[in-house]
């Protein structure tokens, strides 16, 4: 997985988090497959269609916090992730 400080695309803009579709019990093989990029200040109450119940790994950038909910529309249990 990339280090939290390394979350920058090729154009150099800042990325708050990256969510990955594939996972593995081996750490060096985690953070693979499709990537969903979360930009700073994003407020998304619903996951994109193909991402529902699919995220298996995530990396949160420095000075960012990712809040997720167990149910759509920001309902249910919540959890916060930081770098």
Q: Which residue has the tokens 């985690």?
A: 30
Please say whether the beta carbons of 32 and 55 come within 8 A. no
Q: What is the residue-level pLDDT of the chain in tens, covering all 83 positions?
A: 888 888 876 677 788 999 998 877 777 778 888 899 998 888 888 888 888 788 888 999 988 999 988 888 889 999 999 98
pTM above the 0.75 mark? yes
3-state secondary structure of 4: helix
Q: Which of 8, 16, 21 is nearest to 59 (CA)?
A: 16
């Amino acid at each position: 997985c990339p280090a939290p400080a390394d979350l920058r695309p090729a154009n150099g803009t800042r990325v708050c988090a990256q969510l990955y579709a594939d996972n593995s019990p081996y750490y060096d093989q985690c953070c693979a497959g499709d990537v969903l990029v979360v930009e700073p200040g994003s407020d998304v109450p619903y996951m994109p269609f193909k991402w529902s119940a699919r995220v298996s790994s995530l990396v949160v950038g420095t000075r960012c916090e990712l809040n997720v909910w167990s149910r759509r529309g920001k309902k249910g249990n919540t959890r916060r992730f930081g770098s």
